[in-house]
Amino acid sequence: MTATTPMIDARVNLAPDALARRYAQVRALSLALAEPLSDADATGQSMPDASPAKWHLAHMSWFFETFVLRDHLPGYALFDERWPYLFNSYYEAEGARHARPMRGLLTRPSLDEVRHYRTAVDAAMAQAMPMLAESCGALIELGLHHEQQHQELLLTDLKHLFSRNPLGIAAWSPADSPDPSAFVPLSWHEGAGDLVEIGAGPAGFAFDNERPVHRHVLAPHALANRTITNDEWLSFIEDGGYATATLWLSDGWTWVAGEQVAHPLYWRRGEGGWEQFTLAGWQPLDPNAPVSHISFYEADAFAAWAGARLPTEQEWEAAARGHDPAGGVQLDAPGPVAPRAEAGGHGLTGLFGNVWEWTGSAYRPYPGFRPAPGAVGEYNGKFMSGQFVLKGGSCATPRGHARASYRNFFHPHQRWQFTGLRLAKDL
């Protein structure tokens, strides 16, 4: 997930005690996710798109130290005046910063020093919380949503790092697997039609790219009841999907050829059949689980092969209204999170959790969008070019973080996140 910064929304207002409890819960999960890591595990960086776990832990605290404690707590002294240069991400207004592709070279500070940094920031936040909740409670809530984004990134970046180790190491031991669900046949369900309202309403937290609410006309269409499975993706592979140029967008075909892509990320053929790398190491491919770690190019090509298309973000959002955004397979605690088959039901299932669902919509601003002034408004609007919208959250998204209006976004070739697809078609 691209870590974005929403505008401050004064309509978010938690009582100091409630905000303190939420702060403690969110921050504790970040530390728990890093608990099994060695200093070396937390320092490695496997590609420029990913960041070391240690960097994520420090950057989350940098946000609170910079935008809350430094700016709203008189007399606060920075933990280390050199560290803002290391742990600023993209904030031009905050000055120069360490280059992103070089984060894996930060052997110092150590993981333990970063943990001490978090402890110091948390202590200052706790001591001043009653005053801070009144003066900048919405900013603190923003920081907690920002931290939840980085919790997901920490897991997906760690998975990519461990996948590059020839030993096939696991971050966590394999979980007790639930009994696999029976295969759920794919069916089609007519989507909302005519005029619909899209975007986050006035109440509660939302990122600035989810607002303002606006109207959109939907043509007649249908959505698949569920996401595409690993077994269905195998059929695409066996039918020559990766070798049929007519299925692919021009840029996608260039990417497939240049990168020699022949299957989703983290797949390989083992002695006993297809395997998939997970946070529990290499595991047999679950045929009924949602396919994951596919690019927009792959999702679009599969849809063409299936005689369908990707849904628009407006079609998806209109369909998700009324569904529980806290349902489905999402992150509750540290462990080997992975997409898994869910029992079928009437209508649409699995809209939230398991895998982020690619849409066919370019990531662009809504009518009336205005970025917030200052540093905290920097990192949504300027990313609105060359990327596509994903909806719904994943198995690594902290439960309670997603909502129907949530707009995630990635470049079309990226696939190290838990990304999958649901089909749509015109009626």
Buried-exposed string 167-177: b where 16+ CB fall within 10 A, e elsewhere: eeebbeeeeee
Structural domain boundaries enclosing 321: 188-426
Asked if 396 and 320 sit in the same domain, the reply is yes
pLDDT tens readout for residues 384-411: 899 999 999 999 999 999 999 999 999 9
Asked if 54 and 141 sit in the same domain, the reply is yes
168 falls within a domain: no
195 falls within a domain: yes
217 falls within a domain: yes
| Integer Cα distance of 263 and 274 in angstroms | 11
Query: Which two tokens mark 343?
Result: 């029992």
Asked if 296 and 154 sit in the same domain, the reply is no
Q: What is the pLDDT of residue 378?
A: 67
Asked if 205 and 141 sit in the same domain, the reply is no
Asked if 295 and 376 sit in the same domain, the reply is yes
Instruction: Identify which of 117, 116, 112 has the alpha carbon closest to the alpha carbon of residue 87.
Output: 117
Q: What is the pLDDT of residue 152?
A: 98
| Integer Cα distance of 296 and 358 in angstroms | 6
Q: What is the pLDDT of residue 418?
A: 98
Asked if 118 and 205 sit in the same domain, the reply is no
Asked if 127 and 198 sit in the same domain, the reply is no
Domains: count for the chain: 2
Q: Is 258 helix (H, G, I), strand (E, B) or coil?
A: helix
Query: Which two tokens mark 100?
Result: 């992103």
Asked if 146 and 213 sit in the same domain, the reply is no
Q: What is the pLDDT of residue 29?
A: 98
Asked if 155 and 235 sit in the same domain, the reply is no
pTM exceeds 0.85, yes or no: yes
Asked if 53 and 87 sit in the same domain, the reply is yes
Instruction: Identify which of 295, 331, 318 has the alpha carbon closest to the alpha carbon of residue 29.
Output: 331
Q: What is the pLDDT of residue 180?
A: 61
Q: What is the pLDDT of residue 374?
A: 67
| Integer Cα distance of 331 and 31 in angstroms | 14
Q: Name the DSSP letter for residue 343.
A: -
171 falls within a domain: no
pLDDT tens readout for residues 337-389: 999 988 777 899 999 999 999 999 999 999 999 877 666 666 576 788 999 99
Q: What is the pLDDT of residue 2?
A: 43
146 contacts: CB under 8 Å, gap ≥ 6: 3, 5, 60, 63
9 falls within a domain: no
The CATH number of residue 39's host domain is 1.20.120
pLDDT in tens, the chain (427 residues): 444 333 444 445 678 999 999 999 999 999 999 999 999 999 999 999 999 999 999 999 999 999 999 999 999 999 999 999 999 998 888 999 999 999 999 999 999 999 999 999 999 999 999 999 999 998 999 999 999 999 999 999 999 999 999 999 999 988 765 556 678 899 999 998 889 999 998 888 999 899 999 999 999 999 999 999 999 999 999 999 999 999 999 999 999 999 999 999 999 998 889 999 999 999 999 999 999 999 999 999 999 999 999 999 999 999 999 999 999 999 999 999 999 988 777 899 999 999 999 999 999 999 999 877 666 666 576 788 999 999 999 999 999 999 999 999 999 999 999 999 999 999 9
80 contacts: CB under 8 Å, gap ≥ 6: 109, 117
Instruction: Identify which of 94, 60, 87 has the alpha carbon closest to the alpha carbon of residue 374.
Output: 94
Find out whether 421 and 302 touch, Cβ atoms under 8 Å: yes
Asked if 150 and 218 sit in the same domain, the reply is no
170 falls within a domain: no
Q: What is the dihedral of CA 387, 142, 399, 408, to 10 degrees?
A: -10
The CATH number of residue 332's host domain is 3.90.1580.10
10 falls within a domain: no
DSSP 15-36: -HHHHHHHHHHHHHHHHHHHTT
Asked if 25 and 159 sit in the same domain, the reply is yes
Q: What is the pLDDT of residue 71?
A: 94
Please name every residue paired with 217 in a beta bridge, in sequence order, or none if there are none. Answer: 195
Q: What is the pLDDT of residue 5?
A: 38
302 falls within a domain: yes
